[in-house]
Each structure stands twice: as structure tokens, then as C-alpha cells.
């Protein structure tokens, strides 16, 4: 990992660079994903969104959206996480997630959800949500709907539909 890369919170000035990174990494199909529908109803960013900078160049970004599950707050939806392909596999994704999850835990966030690969996200404590327990506003492969408890027992107490939490 380059010692010159620094992580910091996302700011509105980063939006154009983050959009370019998402277009590079995910392509045009990204707006049709179910997770995007959850984020549509929520503020553009939360205090847990972070970026990795190599000088002035944005090389990785992660978003966390405040959500409600079954009407209850205190939860986040992680994603998208994107690392510039030129810098993939060097620990930048891991570091962004670890820092943000630690901050969320400190703030008392109880649960983080995401739609993604368990082999990658399992290392941060993400496990598949029991099928049907939590729903998103669109189709999701149940094996890819993952949750990490920041407070023990939080997943068992979370069920129902997921929605972006308005400020």
C-alpha cells in the first residue's frame, strides 16, 4: 500500500470524481441496481462515506447510507465500494471499510447491510441475512444480502422492508 495515500471523509466537492470512478468500475448498468433505489430516498452522503486520495487523485471511495429496517433507524447500507482498477488488491478497500465501520460502531450504529460478495465482506463480519427477514425495494440474490452487527443481536431484532432514511 502506498504510504502517500490518505483517507478522509467524502465532501460534496468529491462528487464528480466519485461519479467518474463509479462509471469506470461499474459501467452504465449501475443505476438499475436495487441498492441504488434505497439510496435514492436518502441524503447524498453520511459522515461514514470516505475516500482514498493519492495526492489530488481520488483512487477509492465508499458510501454509507442511513437506512431504516422495518421502520427502525440506527442502520447503514454500505455501498458502492469502488477502487480504481489500477490500485486494486492493495488494501485500500479494506482500509476504507474498517475505518468507517469503526466510526459507526463508536457512534452507536447497530447494523450495516450491503449487497455484495460474502467472500470479500465476510472478513469485516458480514454474514448472509436469513432469507426473507429483510427486504429491499427490488430483487436481490438472497446469498448477497449481507449484514454485520455492530451491536450483538442487532440482526435478530431487524426485519421488514429497508428504506433510505431522510435527514
Ligand X SMILES: CC(C)(COP(=O)(O)OP(=O)(O)OC[C@H]1O[C@@H](n2cnc3c(N)ncnc32)[C@H](O)[C@@H]1OP(=O)(O)O)[C@@H](O)C(=O)NCCC(=O)NCCS
Return residues touching ligand X (CB under 6 A).
Answer: 25, 79-83, 88-94, 116-117, 119-120
- Please report how close the Cβ of residue 125 comes to ligand X at its closest, in angstroms: 15
- Please report how close the Cβ of residue 1 comes to ligand X at its closest, in angstroms: 8
Q: Which three cell numbers stand for residue 121?
A: 465482506
Which residue, 7 or 90, is less far from ligand X as judged by CB?
Answer: 90
Q: Which three cell numbers stand for residue 98?
A: 474498517
- Please report how close the Cβ of residue 83 comes to ligand X at its closest, in angstroms: 4
Which residue, 96 or 150, is less far from ligand X as judged by CB?
Answer: 96
Q: Which residue is nearest to ligand X (CB)?
A: 93
Contact criterion met (CB below 8 Å) for 53 and 8: yes
Q: Which three cell numbers stand for residue 144?
A: 448477497
Which residue, 36 or 70, is less far from ligand X as judged by CB?
Answer: 36
Which residue, 88 or 156, is less far from ligand X as judged by CB?
Answer: 88
Contacts for 7 with CB less than 8 Å, ≥ 6 apart:
50, 51, 52, 53, 95, 96, 99
Comparing CA positions, the residue from 94, 35, 96, 90 lying closest to residue 67 is 35
Whole-number Å distance between alpha carbons of 150 and 144: 19
- Please report how close the Cβ of residue 154 comes to ligand X at its closest, in angstroms: 22
Amino acid at each position: 500500500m502506498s504510504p502517500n495515500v490518505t483517507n478522509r471523509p467524502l465532501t460534496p466537492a468529491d462528487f464528480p470524481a466519485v461519479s467518474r470512478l463509479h462509471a469506470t468500475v461499474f459501467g452504465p448498468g449501475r443505476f438499475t441496481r436495487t441498492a441504488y433505489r434505497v439510496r435514492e430516498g436518502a441524503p447524498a452522503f453520511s459522515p461514514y462515506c470516505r475516500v482514498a486520495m493519492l495526492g489530488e487523485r481520488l483512487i477509492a471511495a465508499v458510501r454509507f447510507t442511513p437506512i431504516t429496517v422495518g421502520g427502525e433507524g440506527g442502520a447503514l447500507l454500505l455501498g458502492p465500494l469502488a477502487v480504481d482498477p489500477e490500485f486494486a488488491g492493495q488494501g485500500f478497500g479494506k482500509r476504507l471499510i474498517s475505518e468507517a465501520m469503526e466510526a459507526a460502531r463508536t457512534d452507536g450504529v447497530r447494523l450495516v447491510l450491503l449487497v455484495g460478495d460474502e467472500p470479500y465482506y465476510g472478513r469485516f463480519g458480514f454474514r448472509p441475512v436469513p432469507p426473507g427477514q429483510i427486504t429491499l425495494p427490488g430483487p436481490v440474490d438472497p446469498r448477497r444480502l449481507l449484514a454485520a452487527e455492530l451491536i450483538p443481536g442487532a440482526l435478530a431484532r431487524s426485519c421488514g422492508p429497508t428504506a433510505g432514511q431522510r435527514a
